[in-house]
Structure 1
Amino acid sequence: MLLSQLPEDVLYHVLSYLDCRSLSRLSQACTSMRRFVNRDAVWRKIAKERLNTGITRNGTDIYPHIPLKERVRRAQNWCHGSCRKAVALKWKTKLMPWLQLDGDVLFLSQAADIGVYHLRQDLGRVQHSPFEVYSGHKGDVCRFVLTDSCLISGGSDGKILVQSRRRDMAVELSGHKEEVNCLDSKEALIISGSRDQTARIWTLTSTTPTVTIPMYDRVWSVAINPTLSSFVTGTACCKNFSPLRIWDVERSACVCSLGSEFRRGAGVLDIVFESPFQLFTCGYDTFIRLWDLRLSTQKCVMEWEEPHDSTLYCIQTDGNHMIASGSSYYGVVRLWDKRKTECLQFFQLSSDTVSSPVYCLRITSSHLYAALATTLHSLDYR
């Protein structure tokens, strides 16, 4: 009996013992074997172990429209640092931009406006001019988030704007006395944090906050738990309490504080929920930390240290094994494998003479986009 004549379930089992290179060679044996090997089911086990293939830890496929074999090939490029670097956009004035991705569309804040750009995925480029612009702030946009129907932004003018993505509605939320450093939104819930040392809970149905929580310190970052039952705040750590605290949404009460050994000034600049009980943080103390929020532990379970002792402004994860971080000097982006303590790859995006932090970064299966003070960089891993 030929190998291709085996029952499919038996053949799947046989191929599960092969590595990436062996499967690629086998697909060249004949047409029927190539068709079989190219099926996603053959590559799923390998894809779960690779970086940024879109297979999350719980098995969810983020990019079902891209063949798994192609994503495994790209994952090898992520691992080995094989990419094409390009400056996608430039501007003259130094800013602190923020960006978000929605499919083949990129949202980028520049001063008081948020521009919307088409991504040319076939060429790995960003359209030079925005096809749409959201405005309304009297100061710079500090943070913004996207929902299915709205763009919600916080500015240095202390205002929060909720603008319909269909452009048929715009609502101004007033309450903060100073700049809105951070915000997050899921469904109808909005959480904001400000330099005025308060965190506020809002809903899309009201223009005033439902709850104002005194934080007694500047709030640099917030993140809502995917369950919507709680949220986390990260403060500047200029007071005698932990900069990381978990709050119950319904009771507006502090549930617990995370960590106890933060040095003064070790503020938390970015917070990312990977699951309801897995939380990543980074900030001035140069560490990426993974926190286990299950009731039995609620502690830091892993740490990754920026080797050049630089502040970490932002982090992103692929939902499985990869972390990407942006540091405060020379536009350095680092890729980390959670299963290792050492940095996997790093890229310096700004020149030796002009240093800029990486204020925000976003990843897809094939690209990494990093926003610096005067440039938006694109790293193409295809």
Structure 2
Amino acid sequence: MLLSQLPEDVLYHILSYLGYKSLSCLSQVCKTTYHFVNRDAVWRNIAKELLNTGISRNGTDIYPSIPLKERVKIAQNWYDGVCKKAIPLKWKTKLLPWLQLDGNVLFLSQAADIGAYHLRPDSGRLQRNPFKIYSGHKGDVCRFVLTDSHLISGGSDGRILVHSRRRDMSVELSGHNQEVNCLDSKDGLIVSGSRDRTTRIWSLTSSCPRDTIPMHDRVWSVAISPTLRSFVTGTACCENFSPLRVWDVERSECVCSLGSEFRRGAGVLDMVFESPFQLFTCGYDTFIRLWDLRLSPRKCVMEWEEPDDSALYCIQTDGNHMIASGSSYYGVVRLWDKRQTECLQFFHLSSRPVSSPVYCLRFSSSHLHAALATSLHSLDFRQNPIHIR
């Protein structure tokens, strides 16, 4: 019996033992095996073990429109650090920009405005002029988040603006009296943190805060749990308590603190929920930390240290094995494999004597975008891919 005559379920089982190089060779045998080997089901097990293929730990496919075989090609470049660098945008005044990525649209804040830029589907390149600008703040935009229907921004003027993505209108939420350093929104719930040492809980249907929580410290970061039952705040750590605290959404009460051995000034600058019980944080103490919120007491279960002893301004994960981080000196972006403690790859985006933090980064299956003080950088990982026919 020829290999191609085997039942499909048997053939899938056989191919599950092969690596990408063996599958590449097999696909060149004949047209029949070529078309069979190109199926996503053949590459799924390999994709689960690689970086940024879009297959999350629970099996969800983030990029279903891109064939898995192509993503495996690009994943090897992420792992090896093979990419082409570009600077699609520059500006003269030093800013603290922020980014969000939604499919083929990149949102970038510059001073008081947020521009929406198309990314060309064929090349991933940024079109130089925004097709839409969200404005209304009287000071710089500090942070903003996207939902399916709204763009929600917090500014140095202490205001929160809720912009409709479908209609040309916005609503102001007033309550903070100093800059809004951070905010998050999910399913109509908004949580904001400010330099005025308060955290406020809002609803999209009301312009007044539902609750105000005194924090006794500046709030640098906030993240709402995917369950919508709790949220986490990260403060500047200038007082005698943990900068990380978990809060109940309904009662607006502190459920617990995370960690106890933070030195003074070890503020938490960014955080991201990867699942309802897994939280990643980073900040001035130079560590990325993974917290397991199922444990009692809730504790840090893994950490990765920035080798150059630099503060970490931002992080993002692929939902599986990869973490990307941006540090405070010389625009350094690092890629980490969660299964290792050492840094996997790093990229210098600003050169001496110019030094700028990476204020924010976002990535897709093939590109990483990083916002520095005077420029937007792009890394294209489709360049010079490994040879898989």
TM-score of Structure 1 vs Structure 2, range by shorter chain: over 0.9
Q: Does 1:280 align with 2:277?
A: no
Q: Which residue of 1 aligns with 2:162?
A: 162
Q: Which residue of 1 aligns with 2:134?
A: 134
How do 1:226-375 residues align onto structure 2 when only pairs under 5 Å count? Answer: 226-375=226-375
**Structure 2, unaligned stretches of length 5 or more?**
383-389
Q: Which residue of 2 aligns with 1:106?
A: 106
Per-residue displacement from partner, 1:283-315 (whole Å, max 9, x unpaired)? 000000000000435110000000000000000
Per-residue displacement from partner, 1:15-39 (whole Å, max 9, x unpaired)? 1111110001100010000000000
Distance in 2 (alpha carbons) for counterparts of 1:346 and 1:37: 33
Distance in 1 (alpha carbons) for counterparts of 2:181 and 2:301: 28
Q: Which residue of 2 aligns with 1:48?
A: 48
Q: Which residue of 1 aligns with 2:197?
A: 197
Distance in 2 (alpha carbons) for counterparts of 1:189 and 1:352: 43
Q: Partner letter of residue 9 of structure 2?
A: D
Which of structure 1's runs of 4+ aligned residues deviate more than 3 A? none
Q: Secondary structure at the match of 2:119?
A: strand
Q: Does 1:87 align with 2:96?
A: no
Q: Which residue of 2 aligns with 1:217?
A: 217
Q: Which residue of 1 aligns with 2:149?
A: 149
Q: Partner letter of residue 253 of structure 1?
A: E
Q: Which residue of 1 aligns with 2:4?
A: 4
Q: Which residue of 2 aligns with 1:120?
A: 120
Q: Partner letter of residue 115 of structure 1?
A: G
Q: Partner letter of residue 377 of structure 1?
A: H
Distance in 2 (alpha carbons) for counterparts of 1:372 and 1:164: 27
Distance in 2 (alpha carbons) for counterparts of 1:295 and 1:91: 46
Distance in 1 (alpha carbons) for counterparts of 2:233 and 2:333: 24
Q: Secondary structure at the match of 1:77?
A: helix
Distance in 2 (alpha carbons) for counterparts of 1:86 and 1:118: 16
Q: Which residue of 1 aligns with 2:387?
A: none
Normalized against structure 1, the TM-score is what?
Answer: 0.99
Q: Which residue of 2 aligns with 1:35?
A: 35
- How far apart are 1:10 and its partner, in Å? 0.7
Q: Partner letter of residue 34 of structure 1?
A: Y
- How far apart are 1:88 and its partner, in Å? 1.3
Normalized against structure 2, the TM-score is what?
Answer: 0.97
Distance in 1 (alpha carbons) for counterparts of 2:174 and 2:297: 38
- How far apart are 1:131 and its partner, in Å? 1.1
Distance in 2 (alpha carbons) for counterparts of 1:15 and 1:136: 56
Distance in 1 (alpha carbons) for counterparts of 2:123 and 2:90: 18
- How far apart are 1:45 and its partner, in Å? 0.4
**Structure 1, unaligned stretches of length 5 or more?**
none
Distance in 1 (alpha carbons) for counterparts of 2:199 and 2:184: 11
Distance in 2 (alpha carbons) for counterparts of 1:319 and 1:296: 24
Distance in 1 (alpha carbons) for counterparts of 2:278 and 2:137: 34
- How far apart are 1:167 and its partner, in Å? 2.7
Distance in 2 (alpha carbons) for counterparts of 1:169 and 1:206: 15
Q: Which residue of 1 aligns with 2:24?
A: 24
CA RMSD, Structure 1 to Structure 2 (Å): 0.7
Q: Secondary structure at the match of 1:117?
A: strand
Distance in 2 (alpha carbons) for counterparts of 1:140 and 1:160: 12
Q: Partner letter of residue 150 of structure 2?
A: C
Identity, % of aligned pairs?
A: 82
Distance in 1 (alpha carbons) for counterparts of 2:313 and 2:32: 50
Distance in 2 (alpha carbons) for counterparts of 1:376 and 1:167: 28
Q: Secondary structure at the match of 1:325?
A: strand
Q: Which residue of 2 aligns with 1:76?
A: 76
Per-residue displacement from partner, 1:235-256 (whole Å, max 9, x unpaired)? 0000000000000000000000
Q: Secondary structure at the match of 1:32?
A: helix
Distance in 1 (alpha carbons) for counterparts of 2:360 and 2:169: 27
Q: Secondary structure at the match of 1:43?
A: helix
Q: Which residue of 2 aligns with 1:63?
A: 63
Distance in 2 (alpha carbons) for counterparts of 1:66 and 1:128: 25
Distance in 2 (alpha carbons) for counterparts of 1:331 and 1:169: 36
Per-residue displacement from partner, 1:197-244 (whole Å, max 9, x unpaired)? 000000011111010000000000000000000000000000000000
Per-residue displacement from partner, 1:165-195 (whole Å, max 9, x unpaired)? 1234311000001000000000110000000
Distance in 2 (alpha carbons) for counterparts of 1:346 and 1:319: 20
- How far apart are 1:149 and its partner, in Å? 0.6
Distance in 2 (alpha carbons) for counterparts of 1:123 and 1:7: 39
